[in-house]
Every structure is written in structure tokens, then in C-alpha cells.
Structure 1
Amino acid sequence: MLEHFKKHIDVSLPFLKGKRLLLACSGGVDSVVLAHLCTKMGLNVTLAHCNFGLRGEESDGDETFVKNLGKALGVEVWSKSFNTKDYLSKNKGSVQMAARDLRYHWFKELLESHNLDYILTAHHADDSLETFLINLSRGTGIDGLSGIPEQNDSIVRPLLAFSREDIVNYANKHGITWREDSSNQHSKYLRNKIRLEIVPKLKQLHPTFLENYRLTQGHLGQTKVLVQNHIDEIRSGLFKREGDIYKINIEKLEKLNPIEPYLYELFHNYGFTEWNDVKDLLNAMSGKEVVSKTHRLLKDRDVLILSEIKEQIAERFLVFEDAKNISTPISLQFEQVETVEKSDANVIFLDKEKLNFPLQLRKWEKGDYFYPFGMLGKKKLSKYFKDEKFDMISKEKQWLMCSNDQIVWVVGKRADERFKVDSSTQQIVKVTLIS
């Protein structure tokens, strides 16, 4: 197996050589064998062990075992204890999901704080088959049927080319000891039930079932690449980037047939899973939206606007008379000058005596109006936005500079006539938007 492992790294994962690797080690046979193989091959690994405290003395024994393994192999070991039950009381989900969240959050912290390159996990071919069956039982697309990927960003799984039988045989042949997790024998967990009851029967039906699955997985992986290439081409034609948002033409989107799988492939990476809601949005009134945990999809006339959900900031900020430069919520520079110079949309000149400090920076509100510079009379801000063809996201992002709640400047767009410099002006304030 060692020679097969070396060849696999050389052919499929050569980028691991010479890198600093964090190896997730539970103390079970899979991760212990991976640690042995990596050190024998000369890969630069550090072991990381999570003690979730769910099995009392058994959990502590696993931690001690991994620390001793690190000493025997001559590699560093980092371990951390977690209050998993407390985490579960504050967050919804299963014990397995809680442990996964805690584990990978810590691993990624280690990567950043210790300048490491990749996380190695000991998932193998049987794990991938179990994941395939779990996803199949719940209903899934091609992503779920493709099993566990060999690499997800910084997470690499070098043992996916090997079966659980290969790993156990290698450990027994070389006198390698490991720890058994008693919870792996509990059939109340879906994965364990599949591992202990279903997979053995499938292998009895066909002795080469696992190998046939791996062959099928390879075919599915190739099909997935073809689908992704097609979707990338469709997305590049549909998703038009404007600043930090994407606009998607609804008429062109509706021409895709069948539309449901296209919607899935185009939007699932942004966290959207309720496909009927996304589909219904195409014929909804402007202003309707659907949201995922990370993104927002908004109907605005003939387009959908895709934007990332960002942390909300305070709606009003004060600008005091002595301010020179501010950076929150936007970057502005204030100067007292002698004369009015040539300006553009990002620069305005104001009569200081017409201003009441502190000024305010805020977003627009229903009923807002101003007196556009160079025009007679007032205009509702909503009408100004419509005339200037602001989409709904742009309106929500637009900042206003106000004096006593009167709009002085639609920042970066249009100044107000009431605060302009005239022949009676004694003090001139120049305000510059720093983009």
C-alpha cells in the first residue's frame, strides 16, 4: 500500500510535496495509517486532534494515544478540547454536525495562525460510498452522487483511492495499533446503519461492488465537469457584474429549458435551495426577493439582482464641524477653500453658513425630497432615482449628506441648490468623495 500511496501522491496530489500539512487524527485506524504513510513518504505533517468530550474517559484516552503517536513518529501534535454539549445547546443540529463545525473551524484557525498549507483528512473509498448512499436516500443532484471530492479548497483527502479493507490490512501487516470509537457501532446514526447493515449486503450481492462504485463515481465526475463547463458558459452570458452585484436578465433566463435544473446549477453555490421560490420570483412584482444565508436575490423590473448579504451598519452617522477626513460609512474629505474650482460628481462646494453642524450621513427614506442643483423647485428622491434609472440595490446603497435632515448632497450624484456657494458666501467648504 505504501508504494501505491506514493504513486497516488506523485500522480494525483503532487502539490502536497514540500508543503506544511495539518493531518486530522482521531486515533482511529484510518487517520493513524494516513499518519504512518505520510511520515514514511517524508511529507511534512503535524497532527491535530479534537477531544469532543462525548465519551468521557474514552475521549481522553484517544487524545493521549494521538499525543503518543506523534512522539513515536517524531511529529508535532496539537490537541484541543471542546464543550460540544454546550455548543449544541446554543446551535441547532446533530452531534455529528456540531463536531464537524467545531473541528473544521479550529483546523482553519490553525492553518492561518501557523502558516500551514493544507488540511489532510483520512476519508477513504468506503466513506465516499456511504456519503453517496446517504445523499441518494435523501434526494440529490449530480454533486451528491459524485461522493466525497478529493479536494475542497484547502482540504485534501489522500486515502480516497483506498478501501477500508486496504487500510486495515496495512495496519495489521505492519503491527500498527489504533483506537476504536465505540459510537461507531451504534446503528442509531444513519451513517453507521449504512456502514454496518447496508454496505455489507451490497458487497455480498456483488463482490466488486465498491470497485464498480468507484468506476461509476469516475464517470459521474467527468459528467459533472461537462455540466459545470456548460453552466459556466451560460453564467458568463447571463450574470452581468456591476460593482459588487450581478444583474441577470429574466427574459434570457426563462428561455433556458428545462429551467429547474438550470436554476439549481446557476444559484445553488449562493445558498439558494428553495427552487419554487426562485422560479416564482421570475414572474413576481418588482421588490420581491428571496434570501439565503449568504445572498439575496431581488426582482427589479426585468432583471434579478444578486447581492451578498453584508453586516448591517448604523443608519445615521454624524459629521462634526472640525472634521477633516472620515472613513465610515464612506470616505469623505472636508476642506475650507477660498474659491470654487471646477468639480465633478465626486466634489461639491458648499456655503458653510447655510449648514447646521453636525451634518448627518444616512440612507434615503420614504418622502425624501431635495432641490437638485441647477434646477428650479424640489423633486422627490424616489422620482430622481427613477429618472436616473437606479435599481433597487443602488437605491438602498445610496448615502445622503443632510443638514437638519435637509438633503445637502446625494453623495457622488447631485448636490442641492439650497446650499450652493453664491455672491454672499463668506466661507466655502469643499467636500470630496474618496472612491
Structure 2
Amino acid sequence: MLNDKVIKNVEIPNLYKNIFPYSQIPKIIFNKVQVPMNLPKEIWITDTTLRDGQQSMSPFTEKQMTKIYDYLHELDNNSGIIRQTEFFLYTEKDRKAAYKCMEKGYEFPQITSWIRANKEDFKLVKEMGIKETGMLMSCSDYHIFKKLKLTRKQAADKYLEVVEQALTYGIIPRCHFEDITRADFFGFVVPLVKKLMELSKQSGIPIKIRACDTLGLGVSHAGTCLPRSVQAIIHGLNYYCEVPHKQIEWHGHNDFHAAVTNSTTAWLYGASSINTTLLGIGERTGNCPLEAMIFEYGQIKGTTKNMKIEVITEIAEYFKREIGYNIPEKAPFVGKEFNVTRAGIHADGILKSEEIYNIFDTDKILNRPVLVAVNQYSGLAGIAAWINSYYKLKGDKKIGKKDERIAEIKEWVDMQYENGRTTMIGNTELELIVEKFMPELVERVS
């Protein structure tokens, strides 16, 4: 247990009202202190689609949960980049799904759990053979005083008791420091984490610290004050609390459009692990998208090892088709129009070389060829580019914008909009027009 000299056991909660004036937009305070970048030698991704992600939508069926787990395994392809995924164990359905997934025998992602902090649930984790479990440790005064109705010392003692229970069962505790971006870092977080590291050394069990940016308030700017600074939080856990990189994890939400940037910053400043969900599903604005962090990983490390990245496209299609999830059309990597251009000048560039206006070879990497949408602004280049991409024409088989048949199709397109059309011309319509003006092309492709 911790004494009052270790925990700053205040009577009045520190709510940082100079930073979080509830009636105004939160403030970013700078102290200009620079902490060193400290990218761990090994970094990886963890997944919480079936835990945190599932809380934001209709519960998944047992079949859907096992299928999602299969997809995670196929995407990772034994690279170990997607290291873990976590399951609820509250209901029989969740437990059955976890059992079925464990029976598959996959090395990656490893199955972990989320439980209520009581002895019966610890027994359940042990009986199922799950080696690690998450447990909630709310760490801001907003939560300690307003939600739990405890003092800081009472909260810390309660958390430590739960951890000690886990250790007696030989289970790795993953301590979820909820709302860390509004917490008194040196008054509460540091002394509690130091005590956890003592318990870790005594037991020989690697207690993990998950820094949870519960409201997405973290910021990645250099020289930012605590409690909002992602850099300072991760540096502080490693430097002041001596938490090894491999035991530090960042869990971010996207309320301020910063989930990806903050997660990448956490990697760069000392966290080995980043927690994510497929498609970024999750509470309110969602969690950090797993697919985004795969591309962040690839850019930082220069490789994605042997991952099957094209499985991302299959996953997106599965969520739309089987789960009924509406993916924003322009969502990076997974939206149906993420690599579709409508601008005529961009289409002209794509016609000359895809590399001019496409982020990478999306056809090769994601099984998503670059596309050009046709409307009143597409011009000759746009129509030619649509034909080449839709019919997958390569090299000398490509159709140029100076082809007289392209001019005929453009006349038809122009007439549509002169007659009052306001919608984009769809693929099915364009197929029929191409078949009319270029029958030999359609026949050859068929």
C-alpha cells in the first residue's frame, strides 16, 4: 500500500481548470521543455476491436467475433506486428468466442482479456488459460473524486490490491490508466506506477502500463505541458518510473482528430505498443484505426515484414456486408473513394503516370486500383483514365485522351449535364456507353 507521503493525497481535486475550462475549448499550455525522442528497438500494434470497439455498436455475434479474429491473424500473417487482441469475458457468448479463437492455435494475435476486478473473474481467466488481462485504474481526479468518490490514496490502494490478486494467479496485469491526459502525473501517476514496478520486480511478472487518452485530449506538439503532452507522459513513464519500453502501451481516442498522430508520437518517445481497433471503431469518435498504424509502422520501420496488407480491403468489405457498418466514403485506405479523383487536372496526371496523384500502388498493396470518377469536370483525360483503370489496361493497351472515341463519349457526358444532370455518372452507365462507342475494347477485355 502507499502512504500519504508518496501519493499526494489532496483534499481538493486538481481538475486543471486553466487547461480544461468546461465552458470553453480546452487549452494547450506550452513550457518549451523538450524531451528526447526514444524509439524502442521493437514496436508493435495491439487490438481492442472485440472489446472497446464492440462497445460502440451492436454486439458482435459469436460467428462475427471468430471471423474478425481470423482476419486479424491473416492480416498479421505471423509477422508479430499485430501482437495481441482482447476479449470481454462478461457473457457466455464472449467466453465461447474466446474459447473458439484460442482453439485455433494462432501465435498472433495473442488472446488477452478484460475482466471485472474480482477474484471470481481472475479464476475464470486462469481456467481459460489466458495469460494477460486488462484492469481499469482511473487516474485523473475527475474520475477518482467525481466517479469513484474516493481519495487518491484509497483509489491507489484499491488498484494495488487488485494487481496483487492477479499476480497470485500468475496473470500479467495490464493496468489501464484511464484519463491519463487529465491526471496529476507526478502527484498520482508516478508514485502508483513506481509501486507497480516494485511488484513487477518482486513477482517476476511484467506488469504493463496502458496510458489511456480517454477523451482524446493528448497533444503531440513539442514543448507541451503535462497532463496533455503525449511526449512527456511516455518519457515520464520510462524515465521517472523505469517502466521498460515493452511494458508501455498507448491507447488513444480521436475526439480531436489526433488519434493517429498521438499514437505515432507515443511510439517515437518510448512506447513499444499502440492499442487500436479495426476501422477506428470505438466510443464516441472512435479509437486509433489499426489500418492507419500499419502504414505508420511501415513508414517508420521501412517494412511491414510479411503482413498481408491487402486483407485490410477484405476486412472493410466484411464490416460493410456482414456487420452493416457504414464506412465513410473517403476514409483513408478503407473508404470506397479514398483513391478516387474527380478533378480533370488530376485525371490527366494519372493518365500519364499513376505515381503523380496516387499515394502508392494501391492496386498492388491494397487490391484497390486508382479510380477516376466521371462528372462535368472530368474532361477527356478523366474519361480516358476511368476506362484504363476500370478495364485494367496497362502499357501500350492504354487508351489516350486524344482517341476520337473518347471525344465522342465526352460529348455524351457534356450533354448529360447540359440537360440538368447533377449526379456523378456511375460505373454501370459508363460501361454501357463504352460498349456503345468502343465495342471492340469491351470484347477484347471480356
TM-score using structure 2 length: 0.26
Give the structure with the larger strand fraction.
Answer: 1
Higher normalized contact order (CA 8 Å, seq sep 6+, divided by chain length) = 2
TM-score norm. by structure 1 comes to: 0.26
Larger Rg: 1
